[in-house]
Chain A
């Protein structure tokens, strides 16, 4: 795949997917009907144009807001909704600044023909980047409403205010719909709105800061919402794709005839082989018949045994770019280590799979050389580029629409399913729906990177004086210690990965923080200091200290330890992407299993936009983290997954959900940061530290394995 794709698949400071879909197609070779009606289009900077509505509407990438002549108000963003609550929070942000009731608005997300390109929905960027942009556009529209009314009524704008979507004065009412009908604005508008319209201050928020019922909840509970796998088009067929029997296997030959004899469309294009038929049942049968004729050339592939050593042997030392090896050093680490009491330890973590409940899915439809794909991806514009590349289209010939999707967790950045569906649709001459099976989703989606770590530190009394940390392959998020240490060396090596790897909720921060926070506990033990006190003694980040104290208080940390044989408590904290988490956990180790008896989380992500959604995100993230901490581990040998099914890869369920408390620290003075990722990074180390307290066994790899003492 071209280099620029590779770059595009990365996000700053994160280990992102290195490989896109690997197809090289040979390809033997309308204007979008806008759903935006007549009215005004407003950019974030307050620029306004008139939109005549209908097919000729020209929505440009910078347009944030559409005020319809019919009174409708639409917020446009390229972000997606995968369950994290972005749709609701974006709606709240717009309602707040427009001064309208939230039900007066709708939010249009992620349609490359209609919405602005807001980048990936990843890295917890929706809250810090998209919310402010939406607020600014909304505030500009509000300001414009006031100024236009003032002019019409010959009053001073400062005397007028917007309430419930209109300026009302002495029996006169001027609403957003009235504004939308004021066509003469077209020419004069740019001067009408001053730059830097004020946003409503946090303490005056009425819609933001509240728990709003989830937008679209009714469609979800009635089964009416159409996820990507539910999209239906006239004459649509259902597709299936032939997968290699092992990683690295290459197709030597295949006979499509048996599939065609069963009435299916069957296509081979390079390494791609797939079928489409009237029902998914027929498509599966046809693919099975074809697969029995396939000949493959296999290659050697490593196994998950000894993975940590494998990664270290395959570390890449070449520096450069966001993805290369790196080394940062401040102070005199070696000198300080030589003079201090030292400790060292190494840690490991395996690959894990996202396993969103809705597997990757896409519906592709061609209209001559124009392609529309409905698919669940966190990168609609990136996938449009991948489609354009795969089918040699210009960007405006491909359109990607992302219906609200059944989970992603960083796992749906790539467009392979969109490309596959489009290739099948091209061959069939009809729309094709393709949904990966669970087995495909386990084996052929990318994984969270496996990783290994080496930590060394020197202490003097209760202070850390030197810190030397090396991470192999997790990614660089949260790799730098948040503790105040005078002499620090941090090294990062990406490694040749046996499996395809990419983003995941929290990604590298989870591994880096696991190693660091367990090591912090080990250092506390060496120093003979309580783990909480030791952390506080080495912190000058007030917000991190505050979440630690808040979690410890609620947990009653000082009295909650030394619970007797095989029961114990642990604490861990972390900082990533602008938010702070601390978790206290109590566990009981029985036989060979770890039962979590209680979890207390304290979280600070700045000003809280929607406390109910925030709590749900934290709790879901923490419970998801319990899976990777306690049970999840992708195993493979001979190029095959050994546990690629829900039966063999245990995920958190209701029964294992421990009693949990979540303390939200609101910081009205701090710009809100995203919250869907950071909580996960403190889960595994808190549990590992609790296992140590319970049994005296130091667990340095994930998933945690412990034996009752």
Chain B
């Protein structure tokens, strides 16, 4: 057991934990941040994606000790107050969720994508999102949601 401190959604949070415990468990069980989901625990579904120092990572494969002192953003940390991000709003408007269990991972991944590449081609979106499983197979609306967000931010930048 050791004490680990992580900047999560702009708050400094710390917990006592074995060093090899997955970040996913710490978020959900110690900090009550249940928006990040378990789907497989082995890097195959990406439902557990969070941003670690702005990079999308599978939190199920990330030991808590490896993020000591780093910044972690989860789905709960994207909106500011009641204000959804453009991407979150696009998922609402383009019906990007069926059961919604994959949605947090999808949105976190696409947030990182749109930040490094605000106007991705369809192929670039597919490359970035392909590791994410949606078992409801709502892929077409997921793709449409990301494209809608890109279009809207282009329009608001213009």
List residues of chain A with CB within 8 A of the CB of B78. Answer: 222
Given the known interface contacts A223-B76, A620-B138, the answer about A357 and B47 at a Cβ–Cβ threshold of 8 Å is: yes
Between-chain CB contacts (< 8 Å), 10 pairs: A83-B101, A211-B95, A281-B22, A357-B133, A405-B99, A407-B135, A619-B138, A620-B138, A622-B137, A657-B137
What is the bound-complex CA distance between A584 and B93, given in angstroms?
Answer: 29
Q: Is the CB of A221 within 8 A of B84?
A: yes
Q: Is the CB of B100 within 8 A of A406?
A: yes
User: Does A616 belong to the interface (CB within 8 Å)?
Assistant: yes
The one of B44, B104, B142 that contacts A223, using a Cβ cutoff of 8 Å: B104
- Asked if B41 is at the interface (CB within 8 A of a chain A CB), the reply is yes
Q: How many residues of A contact B (CB 8 A)?
A: 59
**A518 CB within 8 Å of chain B:** no
Tell me if B13 is interfacial: C-beta within 8 Å of chain A: no
Chain B's closest residue to A221 (CB) is B88
Q: Which 5 A-B pairs have CB atoms at the shortest separation, nearest pair first? A: A223-B35, A83-B99, A406-B101, A223-B75, A220-B100
- Known A220-B103, A657-B139; further 11 A-B contacts with Cβ < 8 A: A221-B75, A223-B74, A279-B21, A281-B18, A281-B25, A359-B38, A406-B99, A409-B135, A617-B98, A627-B137, A645-B44
How far in angstroms is the closest Cβ of chain B from A415? Answer: 20
A152 at the interface (CB under 8 A from B): no
Is B57 interfacial (CB-CB < 8 Å)? no
Does A612 sit at the interface, judged by CB under 8 A?
yes
Question: Within 8 Å of chain A (Cβ to Cβ): is B34?
Answer: yes
Given the contacts A281-B25, A646-B42, A221 and B92 also touching, CB distance less than 8 Å = yes
Complex: chain A residue closest to B44, CB-CB: A646
Known: A279-B25, A438-B39, A652-B139. Is A221-B34 also a contact (CB below 8 A)?
no
Q: Does A104 lie at the interface of the complex (its beta carbon under 8 Å from any beta carbon of B)?
A: no
Contact A616 B42 (CB under 8 A): no
Are A222 and B137 also in contact (CB < 8 A) when A238-B29, A646-B44 are?
no
How many angstroms between the C-alpha atoms of A326 and B149 in the bound complex?
54
A82 touching B45 by the CB < 8 A rule? no
B40 at the interface (CB under 8 A from A): yes
Report the minimal beta-carbon distance from B12 to chain A, rounded to whole angstroms: 20
Chain B residue nearest to A217 in the complex (CB): B92
A226 interfacial by beta-carbon distance below 8 Å: yes
Give the secondary structure class of A's interface. Answer: loop
Contact of B140 among A226, A356, A619, A645 (CB under 8 A): A619
- Would A229 and B38 be within 8 Å (CB), given that A646-B45, A651-B133 are in contact? yes
Known: A224-B35, A281-B25, A646-B40. A213 touches B93 (CB 8 A): yes
Task: Output the least CB separation between B41 and chain A (Å).
Answer: 6
Q: Is the CB of B40 within 8 A of A660?
A: no
Hey, which chain A residues are within 8 Å of B8, CB to CB? none
Closest residue of A by beta carbon distance from B125: A654
Assess whether A223 is in contact with B92, with CB atoms less than 8 Å apart: no
CB contacts (< 8 Å) of B132 on chain A: these are 653-654
- Complex: A651 Cα to B39 Cα, angstroms: 13
Q: A83-B136, A281-B25 are in contact. Are A221 and B97 (CB under 8 A)?
A: yes
Q: Flag A218-238 by CB within 8 Å of B: 1 or 0 each.
A: 101111111101101000001
The 8 A CB mask of B70-101 against A (1 = contact, 0 = none) is 00001110110000100011011101111111
Contacts of B84 in A (CB 8 A): 218, 221-222
